[in-house]
Amino acid sequence: RRKKIVEQCERLMDNPEQIRNIAIAAHVDHGKTTLTDNLLAGAGMISEDTAGEQLAMDTEEDEQERGITIDAANVSMTHEYEGTDHLINLIDTPGHVDFGGDVTRAMRAVDGALVVVDAVEGAMPQTETVVRQALREGVKPTLFINKVDRLISELQEGPEEMQERLLSVIGDVNELIRGMTEEKDDIEDWTVSVEDGTVAFGSALYKWGVSMPSMQRTGMDFGDIIDLERSDKRQELHEKTPLADVVLDMVAEHFPNPVDAQPRRIPTVWRGDADSDIAESMRLVDEDGEVVLMVTDIGVDPHAGEIAAGRVFSGTLEKGQELYVSGTAGKNRVQSVGIYMGGEREEVDRVPAGNIAAVTGLKDAIAGSTVSSAEMTPFESIDHISEPVITKSIEAKNMDDLPKLIETLRQVSKEDPTITIEINEDTGEHLISGQGELHLEVQTQRIERNQGIPVSTGEPIVVYRETPTSDSQEVEGVSPNRHNKFYITIEQLGDEVLEQLRLGEVSMDMPEQERREVLQEAGMDKETSQDVENIIGRNIFIDDTKGIQHLNETMELVVDGLTDSLEDGPLAAEPVEGALIRLHDARLHEDAIHRGPAQVIPAVRDAVHRALIDAEIRLLEPIQDVRIDVPSEHMGAASGEIQGRRGRVDDMYQEGDLMVVEGIAPVDEMIGFSSDIRSATEGRASWNTENAGFRVMSDNLQRDIITEIRERKGMKTELPESIDHF
Ligand code: GDP
């Protein structure tokens, strides 16, 4: 039977008109998991008995019981609608909405979002956030109002009260949709209504659902439904009007297929050249074009290893293909391709454009990667890649869990590219770094819950930077044996050049000519751009010397010395950025023995640190853009929470029925924000932070923070006397 379903899917894969790629957007506990299982059971992918119980794909045990061994996040099913078979691919959106990036990525791979709202609770802030994210990406919504059984049986509502309540939920969702789509001219009216069939309601728990078409088909009205539900004839109700059919019919009828959706969506999700062949092939969903896969998530199969899941926008994925992975240099070889049948991966020969694929062999891919047969502009522009700004140590409470923890941490950093894992060489501790306090909290909770590894974490530590704020005099660095001397200056890198370094647009890996052009465009003078000897982190090293004997053989050590001194700045041993280091002159001992690492590295390090101090080095702190969505009565409290944290409110405006407060605040001050904002707004605020780079700390705070960092690192707390500029 299973084999038959797979064959049916393989046939459908070649007819993009019959495919729907969708996501479910819901506030936590509103019934996403229960509904998903209903759909799978209705489509014959899992047995009716298992659906509707505690189905959560929560624990590994659960997954095994249900025969789902891997990443149940993506599921595919078939559904017959009006005599035509459809292939419906459901992509999971992460439950947590505080990190826009994750949800956005998932939304980019789908064309329709089924919004699930609990009839009793109504639309919640998280519903609003996810719906907004969907609409921002051009994903079309429909609405399923869940837990209607509670209105009938618990709240004892009659037909009129019930109707009123449903209309109020629909009204809330529509206001949101209207607010977000009014200004988009490529979108017609996307508001939902019972009459149009874009709203369904019912009970995921008792597996029944109702929509206008289903009421017309069965001849049932509100009164009949209430009678059956009240008299506990839910099974009858389920048989008469099964939830899966009602919802899947709505999906097939109202969500666009890839052929209709891709021409409209490609310009929103991809910023490459619209006139290129690849753009054309993506718009046409051309299975004969270049292969383009957007990876939405990375899962692990105990047997097959890492699996990249994502949407094929163009071309046909096949085993053995050598594909580019965005952000990496080489190519990866596809070892197998598959689809998610029900939730289990099934290997197939090929996956053509318009489908969701599960691929093994893409070892360099991370969530968000663009994988393609020709070099191309990646989907998510690289400036979304934020660097970690906060670090915590993480340890397994039980030593036996250590190997599993290490493996899990590695996995986490692949699934979420904004997480990095390091080992503290002094203490052997594992350090997890990410975008903010809550980001790390969510990730560590995930490790505890999903992997069953109890962990303890240290206090959050903010990552600072050091930067020159003026240009230095020439400084002489002398080696311990006094036979080698280096003459250097430090200048500030221009903002634009620094930005290009941040974005990864300039590197030593790129052709020299191209590098010069980018640097010159960013404002570097021609001669300097031609003398770039190396790029060290976000600093540039210029060799201005001419014809110095032995310098060539010594250059590697000079770079080692620079790297060493720039990784640990002179203020607080935090990384230096934004420095242009010029080597003007050097004296080197004739004999290589006397200009080894022990001589050159300390000489360079000493010169760089003294020059940085002369260039008025200062501490930079990471800052975050903060966006709070909140009912207007809590707007004052919300903006107060930003201002009270050395922050600044930049904008306040209405979006739907909520107020949006936008501002900026230092990461350090944002520690504890999560619980403070909750109590300040009675839990009515939903919020988002995004890293906004670094800024120079005000001079009156510099010394305190520097002392704090030095204490934590076990350095002596007094600063060198030469530091007197703040
Ligand atoms: P998720 O967090 O959105 O995935 O929500 P779940 O599917 O896990 O459901 C959350 C809770 O609500 C569970 O206890 C479900 O049994 C319950 N639930 C889900 N759908 C319904 C429904 O239609 N009626 C009732 N009464 N409870 C439901």
pLDDT in tens, 378-432: 886 544 445 788 999 999 999 899 989 988 888 788 777 778 888 877 777 899 9
Q: How far is the CA of 229 from the centre of ligand 1 (A)?
A: 17
List residues near ligand 1 (CB under 6 A): 26, 28-34, 56, 146-147, 149-150, 203-205
Strands 356-360 and 316-318: unpaired
- 381's tokens: 């522009």
How confident is the model at residue 50, as a pLDDT? 55
Q: How far is the CA of 285 from the centre of ligand 1 (A)?
A: 37
> DSSP secondary structure string, 102-125?
HHHHHHHT-SEEEEEEETTT-S-H
Q: How far is the CA of 680 from the centre of ligand 1 (A)?
A: 29
Q: Which residues of the chain have pLDDT under 70?
A: 1, 46-73, 93-104, 125, 183-187, 380-386
| 28 CA closest ligand 1 atom index | 2
Contacts of 415 (CB under 8 A, 6+ apart): 297, 298, 299, 366, 367
Helix (H) or strand (E) holding 159: helix 159-181
Annotated binding residues for GTP, written as ranges, equal 26-33, 92-96, 146-149
Residue with tokens 């809330």: 172
Q: How far is the CA of 55 from the centre of ligand 1 (A)?
A: 10
CA angle 584-551-576, nearest 5°?
Answer: 55
Backbone angles phi, psi at 91, to 5 degrees: -105, 135
Q: How far is the CA of 246 from the centre of ligand 1 (A)?
A: 18
- The residue whose C-alpha atom lies closest to atom 19 belonging to ligand 1 is 31
| 116 CA closest ligand 1 atom index | 3
Alpha helices in 192-285 (DSSP H): 212-218, 222-230, 234-240, 243-254, 258-269, 277-283
Contacts of 632 (CB under 8 A, 6+ apart): 654, 658, 659
Annotated binding residues, written as ranges, equal 26-33, 92-96, 146-149
- 309's tokens: 């899941």
Q: How far is the CA of 29 from the centre of ligand 1 (A)?
A: 6
Q: How far is the CA of 552 from the centre of ligand 1 (A)?
A: 69
Helix (H) or strand (E) holding 212: helix 212-218
User: CA nearest 500: which of 480, 523, 533?
Assistant: 523
| 30 CA closest ligand 1 atom index | 3
| 26 CA closest ligand 1 atom index | 3
Strands 140-146 and 356-360: unpaired
- The residue whose C-alpha atom lies closest to atom 25 belonging to ligand 1 is 147
Note the ipTM here: 0.99
Q: How far is the CA of 624 from the centre of ligand 1 (A)?
A: 35
For residues 367 and 388, what is the distance between their CA atoms, to the nearest angstrom?
Answer: 16
For residues 722 and 701, what is the distance between their CA atoms, to the nearest angstrom?
Answer: 19
Q: How far is the CA of 56 from the centre of ligand 1 (A)?
A: 10
Q: How far is the CA of 34 from the centre of ligand 1 (A)?
A: 6
| 52 CA closest ligand 1 atom index | 16
* pLDDT tens digits, one per residue of 181-222: 776 666 678 999 999 999 999 999 999 999 999 999 999 988
- The residue whose C-alpha atom lies closest to atom 2 belonging to ligand 1 is 29
- The residue whose C-alpha atom lies closest to atom 6 belonging to ligand 1 is 31
How confident is the model at residue 180, as a pLDDT? 78
The residue type of 640 is G
Residue with tokens 């990646």: 378
Q: How far is the CA of 167 from the centre of ligand 1 (A)?
A: 21
Q: How many residues does the chain have?
A: 726
- The residue whose C-alpha atom lies closest to atom 9 belonging to ligand 1 is 31
| 56 CA closest ligand 1 atom index | 8
| 27 CA closest ligand 1 atom index | 3
Residue among 124, 150, 205 whose CB has most ligand 1 atoms within 8 A, to mutate: 205
Q: How far is CA 475 from the centre of its chain?
A: 44
**Angle at which helices 437-451 and 402-415 cross, to 10°:** 130
- The residue whose C-alpha atom lies closest to atom 17 belonging to ligand 1 is 31
- 20's tokens: 């729907």
- 690's tokens: 């995004």
- The residue whose C-alpha atom lies closest to atom 24 belonging to ligand 1 is 147
How confident is the model at residue 514, as a pLDDT? 86
Q: How far is the CA of 193 from the centre of ligand 1 (A)?
A: 23
How confident is the model at residue 426, as a pLDDT? 72
SS3 annotation, 379-425: CCCHHHCCCCCEEEEEEECCHHHHHHHHHHHHHHHHHCCCCEEEECC
Residue among 24, 27, 28, 29 whose CB has most ligand 1 atoms within 8 A, to mutate: 29
- The residue whose C-alpha atom lies closest to atom 11 belonging to ligand 1 is 29
- The residue whose C-alpha atom lies closest to atom 28 belonging to ligand 1 is 205
| 203 CA closest ligand 1 atom index | 23
Cβ(622)–Cβ(693) below 8 Å: yes
Strands 356-360 and 305-314: antiparallel
User: CA nearest 529: which of 510, 551, 545, 513?
Assistant: 513
Residue among 27, 34, 39 whose CB has most ligand 1 atoms within 8 A, to mutate: 34
- The residue whose C-alpha atom lies closest to atom 10 belonging to ligand 1 is 29
| 206 CA closest ligand 1 atom index | 23
Q: How far is the CA of 152 from the centre of ligand 1 (A)?
A: 16
How confident is the model at residue 73, as a pLDDT? 64
Give this prediction's pTM.
Answer: 0.65
**Angle at which helices 495-502 and 512-521 cross, to 10°:** 130
Cβ(482)–Cβ(519) below 8 Å: no
